[in-house]
Amino acid sequence: MVKHIGIVAVSPEGSAICYRAIGRRVSEIEDPRRRPLVSLHNRPFSHYVAALERGDWPGIADMLRQSAAVLAHAGAEFCILPDNVAHHALPMAEGGSPVPWLNMIDLTADAVQSNGCRRIGLIGTKYVTYGSTYQTVLGLRGMHLLVPPQEEADFIDRVIFNEAVHGRVKRESRARVLVSVRNLAERGCDGLILGATEAPLMLALEESPLPVFDPVELLAEAAIRHALSGAAQGTTR
């Protein structure tokens, strides 16, 4: 049977990007009986931001777990989390979760490794840039992660929280983000991870001098594959 997808939302704009990405893929499935149901649950974004500022990762994990419980009650058979920062708390959230989760960070690392990249650039919030969200998983696979210098990274963080999460990014902000990406290319990066769900609002993919790995797009693709993994046996003729 086709599995019901649950989306655990953190930022409204980022979660909407993921929902649309899944929706596009669902609409491409010819047989309506094989189109998975998708449910989304969110808590106020401000609750997550406050917990981040306190460094309260157990609190973030608890909120993720609560959303998973709501989604499971609605029929979801697995959950996805289209948020880079909150993935740091996912191992804690999985404990006691009523349904399994797909891990967006692992999916991204798989894609980067499959493409043979060795030096990877990363842009995102300061929690991702200076944290271990991608650093650990890529390092264990023998890949080297490069991030923008502090002044540029702090600017990108401000753009994400002051503009992108509200669904709008100024032209001058996009231009400065592109400069940061070009600098990563000049430092020898052979790929770029968009470490913020809203990053596509800040960087046009066709302008990037580096091959781009968009974790949310990879997660959406994996969610559809997982949802359809048992569909062949369950489809009636």
C-alpha 227/C-alpha 35 separation (Å) is 9
What pLDDT sits at residue 231?
Answer: 54
DSSP 121-145: EEEE-HHHHSSSTTHHHHHTTT-EE
pLDDT above 60 (res 75): yes
Q: What is the pTM of this model?
A: 0.92
Domain 105-214 is found in CATH 3.40.50.620: no
Tens of pLDDT, residue by residue over 45-62, are 999 999 999 999 999 999
pLDDT above 70 (res 34): yes
Domain map (residue ranges) of the chain: 5-103+218-234, 105-214
CATH of segment(s) 5-103+218-234: 3.40.50.1860
Question: With bands split at pLDDT 50, 70 and 90, how would you rate the model's confidence at 205?
Answer: confident
Q: For residue 60, how many other CB atoms are within 10 A of its CB?
A: 24
Tens of pLDDT, residue by residue over 150-170, are 999 999 999 999 999 999 999
With contact defined as beta carbons under 8 Å apart, do 7 and 79 qualify? yes
pLDDT above 80 (res 234): no
With contact defined as beta carbons under 8 Å apart, do 138 and 132 qualify? no
Domains 5-103+218-234 and 105-214 share a fold: yes
Tens of pLDDT, residue by residue over 100-122, are 999 999 999 999 999 999 999 99
Segment 88-93 shows an average pLDDT of 95
